[in-house]
Amino acid sequence: MFMEAKDVAQLLCISVKTLDKIIGQHEGPPFLRVGRIRRWRREDVLEWIEQQTRQHGKQSKAMNGN
């Protein structure tokens, strides 16, 4: 199932404008582009969220000396 930008933004609890900024910084979940249209696979977005959670968890542990 493919998602539109508004759906991805809602899942990430951010605005579409913020999602556009993240994409402009070459970050954010991977997407497919067909012409000017971007679409995300739900599985890719969920995996990206999981990766961010793991990455931030490691950073927090390192900062706390654990």
Q: Where are the domains of the chain?
A: 2-64
Structure letter (DSSP) for residue 13: T
pLDDT (tens digit, 9 = 90+) per residue, 9-25? 999 999 999 999 999 99
What is the rounded (10 degree) CA torsion for 44, 47, 52, 57? 180
pLDDT (tens digit, 9 = 90+) per residue, 33-46? 999 999 999 999 99
Check residues 10 and 57 and name the one with the higher pLDDT.
10
- For the record, the structure tokens of 23 come out as 């994409």
Confidence tier at 5 by pLDDT (50, 70, 90): very high
Give the DSSP letter string of 20-58: HHHHHTT-SS--EEETTEEEEEHHHHHHHHHHHHHHHHH
